[in-house]
Chain A
Amino acid sequence: MQLINPGIGLVFWMTVAFSIVLFILGKFAWPAILKGLKEREQSIQEALDSAKEAQEQMKRLKMDNDKLLREAMEERDVILAEARKIKDKIIGEAKEKAGKEASAIVESAKEKINSEKLAALREIKSTVAEYSIEIAEKILREELKDRGRQKKYIETLLEETNLN
């Protein structure tokens, strides 16, 4: 029965030794080990999570990029179409304006030519009239050199006046 008859000394020393082991490991070893394990697990989990998130973000970014690109292209098309329209409009307007201006210029030129023509005609008329008066004066002077003639002419003139 030696085997199942524990000695009191063994019980005492086992209690002491086990308590000491429990105390030392419980104070200095297990907290550090378990904390280290937990921290490592957490950091691994975090790394995995962040990798996944980064991947998702990449995907999202790529999608965004595609969307942006598509939008940009559409906008470019719109802008181009608008530009073309504007160009056409500008060109049309310019053409119209140019046509108008040209016709206006022609019109004014015509007017000027007309007025110049009239002025010239008027000048010719007055000149002709002056010349005619001068000639008439000269003729009259020549005609009325002697007194008889003068008298006769005056009488004719008076007669004509009286008649009126």
Chain B
Amino acid sequence: MLAMARKTIVNQVITLFLFFSFFCVVPLNLVAGNHTSSSTDKDHGKKEEPNIGKMIMEHVTDSYEWHFFSVGEHHVSLSLPVILYDQGHWMVFSSSRLEHGQASYKGYYVADGGPNIGKLVRKDADGKEVPPQLDISITKTVFAIFLDALLVIIIFLSIAKSYRKRKGQAPKGLQSFMEPLVLFIRDDVAKDSIGEEKYERYLPYLMTLFFFILFSNLVGIFPFFPGGANVTGNIAVTGIMALFTFVITTVSGNKHYWKDIFNTPGVPWWLKFPIPLMPFVEVMGIFTKPFVLMVRLFANMVSGHIVLAGFISLIFIFGKFGVGMAYGVSVFSIAFAIFLDLLEVLIAFIQAYVFVLLSALYFGMATEVPNHH
């Protein structure tokens, strides 16, 4: 238990570090991005520098279309449906009508700055930018979520089929590739954290969580369609998964779990009465646990994508000083990018593991039965 606690603390320190380093990176990009709007497009010399920051931000954030590549002024992209509910109407139209964020359709356009940057807004009567009441468009990230979900479903349904068909036989093909991971989650994560009696109840959720995160991470690293989308580096995605963990933890919390929160054993009484300091801290803990889950995965994945994109962008930044410079830098950049890509594969596994391990630990805490009181 102590070793687990220490591991958790180390994780949290790493997360905090990444979280703050990420905050250091973002403003720079935002500053760089703001240059675009102020600089004139005709000025080619000035145009290239701010484009890098914008490009990286566009890479890691959501968008209404799936942009593949551009040839000159011609953009090759997959147009995705926009679904809006505003002023009592449902509106569904293709994102191609927005012409890559250049045009507006029915008054809606992609905000270039402000609090709703990157999202569809319209001008209200005062000329202020306001978002629609409901925006459930199939964006790039949503589409990528669907693809990842489909991938996970197809893979594991086929594996389940081979388990049914080859009963009692040695695993084969995809089945034998996934089996070590399944066993790892079952034995080293679920069984160890939750305990022999209750782990089976949580296993389906933990498995789904692990493989969804893992596949999303890995597909996100793959640079071409259907990869490249930053699914797990999106706070909404990690937030929903953390919310699932939070709900399951809270629902399955037993008497002992709630007693530990509101009447923490092993602390002096004056920490609980008259000012309920410990209960307050513990109740906060209920919410910080899933919050940390959400932020850790998000920060890890988004920082990986940003740093990778940054290394590739270095080539173009140095390219400004001369073609030779670009070729020279590209050798190092690509070497670093390859190194980082491999690191990202490792992180994809580690973060999926950490998310599931902590979820399992929380379930274990919620269902723990005291045996030494």
Contacts and interface: CB of A to CB of B under 8 A. Distances in A.
B166 to A, nearest CB: 8
Interface stretch (B92-100, B114-122, B256-264, B349-357): B114-122
A9 B207 contact: no
Contact of A21 (B137, B149, B298): B149
A9 B167 contact: no
Contacts of A34: 182, 186, 200, 203
Interface string B271-310: 0000000000000000000000000001000100000000
A49 to B, nearest CB: 15
Interface in A1-20: 1-15, 17-18, 20
Most chain B CB inside 10 Å of its own CB: which residue of A9, A26, A31, A40: A9
B239 A6 contact: yes
Contacts of A30: 156, 160, 203-204, 207-208
A39 B302 contact: no
A43 B186 contact: no
B203 A29 contact: no
Contacts of B117: 1-2
A33 interface: yes
Interface string B133-176: 01111110110011001001100110111011001110000000
Interface stretch (B35-43, B65-73, B230-238): B230-238
Contacts of A4: 235, 298
B142 A9 contact: yes
B318 interface: no
A51 interface: no
A34 B156 CA distance: 12
A14 B145 contact: yes
B241 interface: yes
B208 A21 contact: yes
Contacts, number: 133
Contacts of B160: 28-30, 32-33, 36
Given A29-B156, A30-B204, A9 B212 contact: no
Interface residues of B, number: 55
B207 A25 contact: yes
Given A18-B240, A37-B179, A9 B137 contact: yes
B83 interface: yes
A14 B242 CA distance: 12
B231 to A, nearest CB: 9
A24 interface: yes
Contacts of B212: 18, 21
Chief secondary structure at chain A's binding surface: helix
B108 interface: no
Given A21-B152, A24-B153, A40-B168, A11 B236 contact: yes
A6 B149 contact: no
A8 B136 contact: yes
Interface in B242-258: 244
B138 A13 contact: yes
A33 B141 contact: no
B168 A39 contact: yes
A6 to B, nearest CB: 3
A13 B136 contact: yes
Interface in A37-80: 37, 39-40, 43
Interface string B175-211: 0000100110010000000000000100111011000
A121 interface: no
Given A18-B149, A25-B204, A29-B157, A39 B136 contact: no
A54 B139 CA distance: 63
Interface stretch (B4-12, B55-63, B331-339): B55-63
Nearest to B135: A9
A22 interface: yes
Contacts of B138: 13
A2 B61 contact: yes
Given A14-B237, A20-B149, 13 more contacts: A5-B235, A6-B234, A7-B62, A8-B135, A9-B137, A17-B146, A18-B145, A18-B208, A21-B208, A26-B205, A29-B153, A33-B163, A40-B168
Interface of B: 26, 30, 57, 60-62, 83, 115, 117-119, 134-139, 141-142, 145-146, 149, 152-153, 156-157, 159-161, 163-164, 167-169, 179, 182-183, 186, 200, 203-205, 207-208, 212, 234-237, 239-241, 244, 298, 302
27 contacts: A1-B26, A4-B235, A5-B115, A5-B235, A6-B236, A8-B135, A9-B137, A9-B139, A10-B139, A10-B236, A11-B236, A14-B240, A18-B149, A18-B240, A18-B241, A22-B204, A22-B208, A25-B208, A29-B160, A30-B156, A30-B203, A30-B204, A32-B160, A32-B161, A33-B182, A34-B182, A40-B169
